[in-house]
Structure 1
Amino acid sequence: MTLNATFPTGAELKQRFFQLVESGEVNLDGVMSPLTRSLVERFGAQGVDMTLAWACTPTGWACPACGRSKPEIVRLNSNGHLMCRLVEHHDHMKDLVKSEFERQCKSQKIVVADESAKQFAARASQMVSAYDNAIICDDCNAADPAAKSAVGTHRDFSFSPQEIHRFVRARPNLPHEIDVEEAARIWQQQEETFHLRLKIVARIAEIAATNTHWYQELPLGQRAAFVYRHAEHLAGRSGAPDAIYELAGDKRPSPAADVSAWRRVLQKRPRTRPRPEDVDYLAKVTCAKHWSTVDEGWRCPACQRAKRETVRKSNSGGWTFRLSDRTFYAPGERYKNKRAVVCGDCSELASKVGKEACLTAGAEGESDYARFLTVPEIALVVLAQPHGRHNVKNEVADALIVRLAERVLARE
C-alpha cells in the first residue's frame, strides 16, 4: 500500500488559525477578527494599533477596572489608527523586593547569597503583593500613575484594579477622568498597611541576602498568565501554537523595508564597568548557572572577548552574563552543523544576520536563523566592545548576507 497523504505545513496551519479567528470560530481577537473589522469601519480608521493582550482576550472581554467593553475602549490615535490597547498591570512591590535584595547583597563585604536565596526572595515577594498581575485597558493603566501623582502617594505604591474602579470616571471611547478625592481616600486607607509592607520587604531581603491580609485575589480568567496560556491553548488546538504573536498584526518586515537597518544602529561604548561586587553577585545569584558553565580562562570563540568582558548591563539596568549553546553551520561536519557555546551578544548577532539572509532570500517559516552561519563568519562581521553590545562591520556583512542567502536557498 502506498501512502500519498500530504500533511499541512506550519505556514498552512497558521493561516488556517487566522481564518478561524477571522470567522469568529476561535474566541480570540486580532486585526482580522469580525469585531476589529467592524470597529475599523465604524471609526474610519487608517490602521490598527493593537497589543498582544488585546489579541489574546475574547471579543466580549470587559476591563476588570473600569468595566468598559472593547467597543467602548477603542478610539483613534493621532495617526488615525484604531487603538486596541490592553496591558498587564502589576504591583511594584515585587520589583522592590528584587532591588532591595540586590542592594543588601552588594552592601556586604562578600556576597553569601546564592540562586536559592534569590528564589526565596521571589517567592516571598508574593506576600507583599496586593494583587495578581491583571490585564486592564490602557486608560486604566495610565490612570494609576496619574492618580498617584495627584494624591502624592509613595513612589512604589500602585492601585489595584478594584481600587482603580473606584476612582476612574469612565466614558466610552475617551480617556478616563480621575476622582482625586476618592483616590486620596483609598491612599489614606492603604498608607499604614503599605508602610508595614515596606518593612516586610526589608526583612525578606535581609533574610535572603544572609542565607494583616492585604492580598486581593482576582478571578482566574482575569489573571494575565491565564489569558496568555488560554490563547496559546486555542492556537495550539488549531495546529498553530506560535500564531498568537501575529494576531495583533503582521510583524514581519514588508518587502520594501530595509531589512539591514538593525545593524546600522551604532551601539555606544559603555561608560561604566562592573565592580568586583557586581561580578560576584551575578556569579553567585543572578547568572550562577551560566557563569559556572565556563571557566575563568574562557573566551567567546566568535568575538574573542574574555569571560568578564562579556558582562554588560541588561535592558533593565542590571549587570548580566549570558551564554548561548546552540547549533551553527559547519560544512565539514557529518550533518553540516555543530554546537558551540558563544556569548549572548554573538548569539543575538548571529540570529539577526541569519534572519536578514532569510528575508533577502525570501525564505519563510524559518526560526533558528543562527544555524545558517559558521562561528568564523560571526567573527568576520562583529565589532566587539568590552561590557557592551556588538556593532557590525557593515561592508563585510553586506557581502556575507549574499553568500548566506544562497546558502539558505540551497538548503531549501
Structure 2
Amino acid sequence: MRTKNLQVSISIPDIASLGDDEMPAIAPHRDGRWSNQTKELLEKFGTHKLDLNRGWASTWTEWSCPCCKRHKRQIVRLTSGGVLLCHLELHHDHLGDLMKKLFEEILSHCDNPEIRVQISRAEGALRPLVERFECALICADCNLADGRVKRELRDEIEPHFTFTPSEIADFITVSDNRVHEVDFERARGIWTEQKEGLADRVDFARRMATRIKKGRHHREVAPGKKLQGQPQARDILFRLCEAALPDIHSLHLGASIEARSVARDGVGGTQKPAKRENVKPPTDAEFAMLDAEQSAKSKHWRNAGDIWKCPCCGRTKREICRRSKRGKWTARIHRFEGFDIEDDAEQLWRRRLDGAGDIVISEPKFELICQDCREIVAKQRQRRADLDARALTLENLRELSNPATVNVAHDVNFENVEEMITKNSPLLDAIAEFENHQRRATDAHIKQIRLTEAGCSATEARDLIGYEIAKARDWEIEDGDDHADWLLAEAARLGRS
C-alpha cells in the first residue's frame, strides 16, 4: 500500500505587529481599521478618530445592510465629537429573551439531570417556532430606529416585541451617512397589525413551557458519545498543524485579528459645554469642618483618602465643594458601578457560546465619583425613566463633565446624555448577558452544593453537571465536563468580586 508523507512547515506571524498592507492576506473576508476603505473614509470625513466595532470588523468591505440596503460607505457617519462611527449590530427578537426567562424559571425548580436536559433541548427546539425572525446583523442606524420607535410608543408596544428587519425598512427614510428619519405612525400601524400574532406566539410559548415542565414531551437522550461523521480535510490538516505547532491554541489568532481590526477612539465623545468662571473656594476652616462632618458619616468619603480626585472630572475633595442655596458648603462622594470588559480569548469563546455580543463584561468595577458627576446619572433618570442610565460609562461621565469648574455643579447638555445612552445600547445587552452568565454560574454552584449535600463527592457532582451540559448542547461528555469546571470557577471568581 502506498502512503504519502505529509510534512507541515508553518510560520505563524505576530498579528499585532503586522503592517496594515499585510492584514488583507491574513483576514481576506474581513474589514478593520487597517483596510484601505476605512482609511479613505477617515480622510473623506476629515478625522483621525475611529469607533469601529466587532460587527463591522467581522464583515467584508462590500457588505450592505439588509434593512436599509446601504453600503458601508453610506453607513458611516460622524458623531458630535468628531468620531467616525462604523457600527453594525446584531438585531435579535426579544421573544427569544422571553423564552429564556420561561425556561430558566423551570430549570430553577428542577434538580433531575435528565429532566434538565429535556428542558434545555426543548427550549432550543421551540425557539424557531416562537421567534418572528432570525438574529440578523444590521447597521447601527436601523437598530437605533427600532429602539426609537419602542421608546416613543412605550405605552402601546409590548416590551418583548421587536420589529423585524423588513418591518424596520418599511418605516424609515434613508439618507447616506445620516441617522434614519422614522415614520412613527407607520411603525404604530405595523405594531397594530402584528399585535394579535405576537400574543398568540407568547401564549404558545407559555403553554409549551408548562407542558414540558409536566414532562409531557419526554424524549430519551442517546447514551454515550455522539456519532462522528466523515473526517473533513480541514480537520485533518488542523491536526497536522497542531502536531507541528503544539502551542497553536495559546496564540489566540482569532482574538488577535479582532483586536487588530476594531477601534474605540472617542467612545462616548461629544461636544463639551463652555467653561464657566471659578467661584470663591471654601476657606481652610470651612473645608476642615466639612471634611470632619463627611468623614464621620460617609464611608465613601473616608475610603477615598486625602489625595483622591474624581476619576471623571478630576477635581479634588476641596474642589468638589459647593454652596447650597442656604449658603452652606456641601460635598459628597458616591460609588459608581462600571464594568471591566473581557479580553481573554478563552473567556470570550465560552461566553459567546451563550450568545454574548460585541461587548462582553468580565466583572463589575466600582469607582468613587463626586456628587456632581453622580448627579448627571440621577437627573437623567428623572428626566427620562425609559432610557436606561446604566448605559452611561465612566468615560461618558468624563466627557460630559469636562471642562469642569471648581466648586460649581456641572453644566450638562442632556441631549448629549441621551445620545450617549442610545449609542451605548449594546452595553445594556452586555449587562443583561452578564447577569445571565452570573445566574448560570451561580446555578451550577448551587447545584453542586445540593448534590454534595445529597451524598455525592465534589467530583461526582461536577460530573453530573458536565453530563447535563453535554447532553443539552449535544457535546462530547469531556466538553461538558470542561464547561462545568469553567462555570464553577466563574461562580467562585464572581463571588469574590
Coarse TM-score class (shorter-chain normalised): 0.5 to 0.7
Hey, what does 1:358 align to over in structure 2? none
Q: Which amino acid aligns with 2:82?
A: G
Q: How do 1:4-153 and structure 2 match up within 5 A?
A: 7-11=10-14, 19-22=21-24, 26-104=28-106, 113-151=115-153, 152-153=156-157
Q: Which amino acid aligns with 1:389?
A: G
Hey, what does 1:310 align to over in structure 2? none
Superimposed CA distance per residue, residues 64-102 of structure 1 (whole angstroms, 9 cap, x where no aligned partner): 011111111111223322100001000011110111223
Aligned pair partner of 1:245 in 251, 254, 258: 258
Q: Does the aligned pair in 1 maintain the 2:53–2:263 contact within 8 Å?
A: no
Structure 2: how far apart are the matches of 1:205 and 1:15? Answer: 52
Q: Which amino acid aligns with 1:125?
A: R
Hey, what does 2:452 align to over in structure 1? 295
Hey, what does 1:344 align to over in structure 2? 489
Which runs of no fewer than 5 residues in structure 2 stay unpaired? 1-7, 216-237, 239-247, 265-339, 342-362, 369-438, 463-479
Which runs of no fewer than 5 residues in structure 1 stay unpaired? 212-232, 252-260, 269-280, 301-306, 308-323, 327-339, 349-387, 392-412
Larger Rg: 2
Structure 2: how far apart are the matches of 1:142 and 1:186? Answer: 17
Q: C-alpha displacement at 1:203, in angstroms?
A: 1.1
Q: Does the aligned pair in 1 maintain the 2:33–2:52 contact within 8 Å?
A: yes
Q: Does the aligned pair in 2 maintain the 1:86–1:135 contact within 8 Å?
A: yes
Instruction: Give the match's secondary structure for 2:50.
Output: strand
Instruction: Give the match's secondary structure for 2:122.
Output: helix
Q: How do 1:384-395 and structure 2 match up within 5 A?
A: 389-391=495-497
For the structure 1 residues 169 and 71, does the alpha-carbon distance in structure 2 shift closer, same or farther, using more than 3 Å as the test?
A: same
Structure 1: how far apart are the matches of 2:137 and 2:82? Answer: 25
Structure 1: how far apart are the matches of 2:447 and 2:255? Answer: 27
Structure 2: how far apart are the matches of 1:193 and 1:267? Answer: 46
Q: Does the aligned pair in 2 maintain the 1:23–1:34 contact within 8 Å?
A: no
Structure 2: how far apart are the matches of 1:208 and 1:177? Answer: 44
Superimposed CA distance per residue, residues 262-320 of structure 1 (whole angstroms, 9 cap, x where no aligned partner): 9995599xxxxxxxxxxxx979x9639983998349999xxxxxx9xxxxxxxxxxxxx
Hey, what does 2:174 align to over in structure 1? 170
Instruction: Give the match's secondary structure for 2:452.
Output: coil
Superimposed CA distance per residue, residues 166-222 of structure 1 (whole angstroms, 9 cap, x where no aligned partner): 0011111111111112112211211111110010110121122222xxxxxxxxxxx
Q: TM-score, normalised by structure 1?
A: 0.53
| RMSD between superposed Cα atoms in Å | 4.4
Structure 2: how far apart are the matches of 1:69 and 1:169? Answer: 15
Structure 2: how far apart are the matches of 1:118 and 1:325? Answer: 17
Instruction: Give the match's secondary structure for 1:389.
Output: helix
Aligned pair partner of 1:187 in 184, 191, 200: 191
For the structure 1 residues 145 and 185, does the alpha-carbon distance in structure 2 shift closer, same or farther, using more than 3 Å as the test?
A: same
Q: Does the aligned pair in 2 maintain the 1:17–1:240 contact within 8 Å?
A: no
Superimposed CA distance per residue, residues 313-335 of structure 1 (whole angstroms, 9 cap, x where no aligned partner): xxxxxxxxxxx989xxxxxxxxx
